Amino acid sequence: MTEVENQMSDNAFDNCGYNKKLKPLAGKLRRNMTKSEACLWKYALKARHLKGYQFRRQRPVLNYIADFICKELMLIIEIDGITHDAEDSLAKDKRREEDLNLAGFKVIRFTDEEVLSNMAGVVTVIEKEIERIEKSTPLIPRQRGTRNTHTYNGKKVNYDKVSCTRRTNCDESIKYKILKKNIAVFLDRDGTINEEVGYLDSLDKLKIISTAYEAIKLINLNGMKAIVISNQAGVARGYFSEDFVRMINNYLQNDMLENGAVIDRFYYCPHHPTEGNEVYQQICNCRKPAPGMLLQAAEELSIDLAKSYFVGDRFIDMETAKKVGAKGVLVRTGYGDDLLQDDGPDTATQENKPDFVAADILEAVQWILKDRKHNI
């Protein structure tokens, strides 16, 4: 956030604390966003991607310029670079946050590194804060013509040209807040995004399939969620730890970001039904072909499973898709080609038969886009 030491006039605010005097500087900052700001904007906040709420970037608020703001939620998101580590900068950040809190805003801060290395984690934090705000502020859709004002330093600040005309209980407000659900492309990891190497127990063995970048970028650009769903029984078997799985996922996410793509969320199952220690040896609802991970994603990310897709290299991926009413695309990378050569597609049962067989993840996503267009 950029601080501007200027004296605001009584009419400095239009709505949501908007300060007209800072508009030129805000425009300049908007044209010169940092890499982390650009990534968070493009892949999470732009065009109501995040739970249907409208965020604005580099928006003048009070004496400051917020990196991202949602006036409906009274939520500000800040991305701090290395210059914010200095003692005087920390003091200014604290003063700004106190001013904004006093004016009714909630401020969430992230570092450049957090955004670039763990986009999925950053988005999760924002989503949880949005859910908290929704629960604590049960409002019906806002009606035109009413104003929402607060007092800041003795001045009335109009935060919103429209506001609710009455308050209601939480149950009623939720009915009004039902948003259009997201469509997801669930992706198996090993053998679909990266090459199959048996148990991936070393970073040296991680080789991204070359077409994966463009495929996931296509998912992003077409407004769908890219969600990784993987069985990681190597944890139960003692080949590697959950920390190692998360490290591989973070590395994969960072590599995607550097190539203009983003994975919205990673889910994995560390269990095995017959092997492993007491913690991991269990029959669970998350290990594919059980639908647990998809159901969790649907709840957390508001996914319409019946309109979603699963791309993977095994028949269990197709079976997982069928269990939630999604379509399955089998890729020939990983184990896919061997399955088709040994068994053939005709051996698939009704429960695990793919809706389409693709050469790789890119062809799979291209077919998904055609299928969506055909079924709109």
The dihedral formed by the CA atoms of 286, 290, 293 and 294, expressed in degrees to the nearest 10? -170
Q: How far is the C-alpha of 21 from the C-alpha of 144, rounded, in Å?
A: 26
The number of angstroms, rounded, from the C-alpha of 239 to the middle of its chain's C-alpha atoms is: 29
Amino acid letter, residue 308: S
Say whether 151 sits in a helix, a strand or coil: strand
Say if residues 234 and 198 touch (Cβ distance below 8 Å): no
Q: Tell me the catalytic residues.
A: 188, 190
Q: How far is the C-alpha of 90 from the C-alpha of 79, rounded, in Å?
A: 13
Give the N- to C-terminal CA distance of the chain in Å, as an integer.
41
**Number of residues that make up the chain:** 376
**CA distance to 89, 104, 213, per residue, from 130 (Å):** 27, 15, 30
**CA neighbours within 13 Å on the CB side: how many for 279?**
8
Q: How far is the C-alpha of 192 from the C-alpha of 146, rounded, in Å?
A: 52
Mode of pairing for the β-strands spanning 356-358 and 184-187: unpaired
Tokens 């050569």: give the residue. 341
